Structure 1
């Protein structure tokens, strides 16, 4: 799959991608609600033998408008692209969202991006998609522009879960902040996953017999601190079950920066410098402060047993979960 980064040189879109069916949206999380929009785009593209594309925006618009409070990204751009590839899209177009871009008119978006640059044949998006300066462009504007300019527009209603509640990225962020990773997986359609470079830590785990792969996550990640049953994917694709601690290590250091520390079961080797991913299957407990290292090690043993038991019975939730977390 091609990830095409729009830039100021106005580089032409490759001819093989022009005239496609384009799903438009931020798609942070690529959750089940997003997947209903994406699935419709894939269906139309297959039926018409057109390329299936996704037009999305980087960085997240909320981060641009409120840089002092950047949004907790469920799927940073590289992970989002892999999820979209797994669904079957030929290309992801990552358009830079800047203050200047936010001031462009809705008509300019239609003319310069959708028509002249992409040559779109069909736009598929959510029923509440708005675009252009002051969100002046909405569903009616888009459909009218399509009728005038010869491209189709398909609007997809909000997707509701089994309890008839609308699935949204904000709802999933709330679940993760509560440590409810199993419930979040039900909304996402796959296990919540993070990826980062493995960095050097204090190497205390090694001295305790539990060496960990350490990752520093963005400060805006609001996952609940605690201990989790996880699966760890190496850069080469190999997967190991494990138990991970996310938080501030109260027994070892006070007021440290939050860190994700994963102990991989049945693994030995050097992971430093590799960009790896961690998928969360269950919240085992909150962080605790122990009176010394001996009770800490005893608890780690219990956490390992519980994580092994939980992970032994899991099955993929679907195609995305199989690609990302299994």
Structure 2
């Protein structure tokens, strides 16, 4: 998949794409339905924004994103997307009236052949443009537009909001039913305090900065190592939280990968949350912590091998 960080000066081979357009936070089943509607009309592309417009307009609001840009691009590549137009959402982008956006960005910049959006799609300054407006502008500027119906499951619409709620409640399988895949946290392995190694459970540490936090605690997880010599899929147990045993206060994700040997510092991992095993706990001493860690690993193995 080719990632384009702008809409101007693009290579000629990016022209004529059939694009699904939106923020695609989570790339859930509703998003996938929009993407599937774009497939028949030309080389498959995505028009998305980075940062998320909500982050641009409210930079100090609590983190809400289900995915960072890396996780989103990884998921879109798995869906067969050929061109990702990851447009910078800045003062210029925020200032475009709906017609300016359709003409300058879609028609003249990206040179789209077809655009697919969800029925609730809004665009342009002040979110003034609606899906029907885009259809009319497509006719004016020479690209097709399809409006995809919203997707429901169990009688309710699939949304990033509903997925966030399921994760907040510690229900990753409920979230996965709406996502169509495990909820994943992707990123680079960073240096931690190396306490896990000293305790016999070496962990890969990853930042969760800027992301909506699922319920804190211990999870059974599926692990994909995306880069480096240990490339592949593994099973593990992960702790998401602030490590109260050691007086920490910045949340991170620490993953113990079963039967794994090697150095993962600087490599990129994708951690899929399968089951929430227990909340974060503070122990009176290391013996109690070690007993619980052994139990967490055993329970995670049991759950994951049954999948």
The bucket for the TM-score relative to the shorter chain is over 0.9
Alignment of 1:1-326 (within 5 A): 1-6=1-6, 10-11=8-9, 13-42=10-39, 44-45=40-41, 50-69=42-61, 71-161=63-153, 163-234=154-225, 235-236=227-228, 237-251=231-245, 253-314=246-307
Structure 1 residues without counterparts, runs of 5 or longer: 315-326
After the TM superposition, which of the residue ranges 117-126 and 25-34 deviates more from structure 2?
A: 117-126
Task: Give the aligned length.
Answer: 304
1:113 Cα deviation from its structure 2 partner? 1.1
Distance 1:293 1:282 in 2: 25
Distance 2:190 2:74 in 1: 23
After the TM superposition, which of the residue ranges 184-193 and 233-242 deviates more from structure 2?
A: 233-242
Q: How does the TM-score come out when normalised to structure 2?
A: 0.94
Q: How does the TM-score come out when normalised to structure 1?
A: 0.89
Asked if the contact 1:85–1:91 (Cα under 8 Å) also holds between the matched residues in 2, the reply is: no
After the TM superposition, which of the residue ranges 262-271 and 184-193 deviates more from structure 2?
A: 262-271
What is the CA deviation profile of residues 6-58 of structure 1, one whole-angstrom value per residue up to 9, with x for unaligned ones? 06xx31x222221221211111111001011001101x23xxxx221111111
Partner of 2:208, secondary structure, is coil
Asked if the contact 2:107–2:142 (Cα under 8 Å) also holds between the matched residues in 1, the reply is: no
Asked if the contact 1:62–1:70 (Cα under 8 Å) also holds between the matched residues in 2, the reply is: no
Asked if the contact 1:60–1:71 (Cα under 8 Å) also holds between the matched residues in 2, the reply is: no
Partner of 2:167, secondary structure, is helix
Distance 1:95 1:26 in 2: 10
In the other structure, the counterpart of 1:323 is none
1:290–1:198 CA distance, 2 compared to 1 (3 A) = same
Distance 1:287 1:136 in 2: 44
1:311 Cα deviation from its structure 2 partner? 0.2
Partner of 1:239, secondary structure, is strand
Structure 2 residues without counterparts, runs of 5 or longer: none
1:265–1:83 CA distance, 2 compared to 1 (3 A) = same
Q: What is the RMSD computed on CA atoms of the aligned residues?
A: 1.5
Asked if the contact 1:230–1:279 (Cα under 8 Å) also holds between the matched residues in 2, the reply is: yes
Partner of 1:184, secondary structure, is helix
Distance 2:221 2:73 in 1: 22
Structure number with the higher strand fraction is 2
Distance 1:259 1:145 in 2: 45
